[in-house]
């Protein structure tokens, strides 16, 4: 099996879990906080800030980092879908399994009940659907089926 067959969306999934699930679920004063509230608090923590020319301040949070990484990975996965090979079929199957794992975690785990995780879930759905459609289009073009359009 080629490394190209491994869906990179697993990186975003692992990154979210490392940042949120393994960061602890206690509040600032050491009091216990439910997992969902702790995850939302952590995702809104600022990593760095920039003072803009307009006078405003742009805060870059952990949630922003996860979404940015996920979107870059989506771009790479869509580019990977344009190549026709047997590893592409394995990649699509594994991408579907990653999507199912993310969906189950979103439904079951309280720390995954955040907007950041929902955006990740939608990106992975787009990866599965777009990857299959692009692969079918490319294979159809390569084989020469259909019209010239």
For residue range 83-132, list pLDDT tens digits in order. Answer: 777 777 788 889 999 999 999 999 999 889 999 999 999 999 999 999 88
Distance CA 118, CA 109 (A): 12
Residue 91 · residue 80 · CB < 8 Å: yes
Q: What is the pLDDT of residue 32?
A: 47
Nearest to 20 by CA among 130, 114, 95: 114
Structure confidence by residue, pLDDT tens digits, 15-30:
999 988 777 655 444 4
pLDDT in tens, 59-84: 999 999 999 999 999 999 988 888 77
pLDDT, one tens digit per residue, over 78-96 is 888 887 777 777 888 899 9
pTM score, whole prediction: 0.80
Name beta bridge partners: 60: 48
Question: Domain map of the chain by residue range?
Answer: 8-143
């Amino acid at each position: 099996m080629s490394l190209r067959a491994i869906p990179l969306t697993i990186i975003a999934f692992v990154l979210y879990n490392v940042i949120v699930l393994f960061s602890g679920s206690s509040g600032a004063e050491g009091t216990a906080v439910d997992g969902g509230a702790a995850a939302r608090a952590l995702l809104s923590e600022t990593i760095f800030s920039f003072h803009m020319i307009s006078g405003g301040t742009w805060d870059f949070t952990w949630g922003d980092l996860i979404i940015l990484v996920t979107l870059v990975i989506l771009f790479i996965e869509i580019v990977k879908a344009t190549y026709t090979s047997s590893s592409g079929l394995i990649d699509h199957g594994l991408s579907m399994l990653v999507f199912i794992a993310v969906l189950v975690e979103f439904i079951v785990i309280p720390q995954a009940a955040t907007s950041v995780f929902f955006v990740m879930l939608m990106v992975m759905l787009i990866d599965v659907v777009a990857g299959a459609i692009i692969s079918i289009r490319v294979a159809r073009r390569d084989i020469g089926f259909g019209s010239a359009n």
